[in-house]
Amino acid sequence: MSVRLYAFTCGYLTIPRAFMLQGEHGLITVPVPSYLIVHPRGRVLFDSGLHAATLENPVAHVGEMLASFHTFHFHPGEEVGARLAAVDVAPERVDVVINSHFHFDHCGGNAQLANADILIQAREAEHARAVESTQGYLKGDWDTGQKLRLVDGEHDVFGDGQVVCIPTYGHTPGHQSLRVRTEAGGEFVLCGDACYLKESLETLRTPGVIADKDAALAVFHRLREMQSRGARIMFGHDPDFWKSVPQAPIRLG
C-alpha cells in the first residue's frame, strides 16, 4: 500500500539571516512548513508549525525576547488545524505527530492535535525539560499533554521502511528528520532544521545558532549522500526552494 505525502505552509517568519548562515547580515523571511503523511495504517504529521495564539498576539505568546528577533506573518487559515481541515482531515484524526524538535516554530500546532501521540527523540524531550521556555523552546508549546512516544535514534514508524525517523542531532541535541518513501514521487527527506537552505548543503555553511556544529556538518554530509542516491531533500526554511514545492491538496509524493 502506498504512502501519500502533502506539504503545508503554516505562515512565515522574518528572522536575522545570520540565524540561517553564519556571518550573514540583514533579515530573511522564511516559510514554516508542516507535512502530512497518509500511510494505510495511520495519519502522520511531521512538525506542526506555530501556536494558534500567535495568530493574534505573538508577543504575548512567545515573550519579548523571542519576539525581538522573529516577526510573524501568520494569518487565520494558515494554522495547521485549518490546513488539515482544508484537505478534509479533521485535526483530531491525526494519529501521530513527529516533531523534528521542540522549538516553537515546529511544535506550536501540537495543541490542535488532541488525539495524536507525539513522537520525539528521547534526548530532545530531555533537553526541552531541562531548558523549559528558553533557547527557542516554549513549555506551553511542547508540553501539551498527549502521550509521548520517545525513540532513540533511527525509528521505522510502521515497520515497513516507508516512514523512518532519522537522527540528525546538531541543530538541537535531539533533532530528527523524516525519510518518506512514496510510490508516486520516490524518496523524500523532510529535514526540519537539520538543513535550512539549499545553499547550506551546497556550500556546507552552518547556521549562526546551533547546538553542535560538528554534528550538524556530519548531518550535511549524510544528507548529501542521500541526495546523491536520489532522495529529494526538503530544506527546512528555504524561501526560494519552497516556491517550487506543491502545496496540499496537490500531492508532493
HEC profile of 27-79:
EEEEEEEEEEEEECCEEEEECCCCCHHHHCCHHHHHHHHHHCCCEEECCCCCC
141 binding Zn ion? (CB under 5 A): no
193 lies in the site for Zn ion, by CB under 5 A: yes
Nearer to Zn ion, 79 or 193 (CB): 193
Please tell me the count of residues contacting Zn ion according to CB under 5 A. 2
Closest approach of Zn ion to the CB of residue 28, in Å:
12
CB of 192 to Zn ion, least distance (A): 7
CB of 193 to Zn ion, least distance (A): 4
* Contact region with Zn ion (CB under 5 A), list: 33-41, 67-75, 148-156, 189-197: 189-197
Shorter beta-carbon distance to Zn ion: residue 105 or 124: 105
Phi/psi zone of residue 19: left (φ > 0), alpha (ψ -120 to 50 degrees), beta? alpha
Q: Between residues 4 and 70, which has the closer beta carbon with respect to Zn ion?
A: 70
**Neighbour-count burial of 63, counting CB atoms closer than 10 A to its CB (0-12 exposed, 13-18 middle, 19+ buried):** middle
- Residue choice 47, 78, 79, 105 for contact with Zn ion (CB under 5 A): 105
Q: How many CB atoms lie within 10 A of CB 60?
A: 11
From 3-11, 56-64, 100-108, 147-155, give the range in contact with Zn ion by CB under 5 A.
100-108
Instruction: Tell the smallest beta-carbon distance from residue 237 to Zn ion (Å).
Output: 6
* Minimum distance of Zn ion from residue 41's CB (angstroms): 28
Stretch touching Zn ion by CB under 5 A, among 7-15, 88-96, 138-146, 187-195: 187-195
Task: Determine phi and psi for 19, rounding to 5 degrees.
Answer: -60, -35
Cβ distance to Zn ion smaller for residue 105 or 238 = 105
User: What is each CA distance from 248 to 78, 97, 133, in whole angstroms?
Assistant: 12, 18, 32
The C-alpha atoms of residue 118 and residue 99 are separated, in whole angstroms, by 7
Binding segment (CB under 5 A) for Zn ion, from list 61-69, 171-179, 191-199, 200-208: 191-199
Minimum distance from residue 32 beta carbon to Zn ion (Å): 7
HSE, CB side, 13 Å, CA atoms: give it for residue 180.
30
DSSP 121-169: EHHHHHHHHHHTTSTTB-HHHH---SPEEEE-S-EESSSSSSEEEEE-T
Positions in the binding site for Zn ion (CB under 5 A)? 105, 193
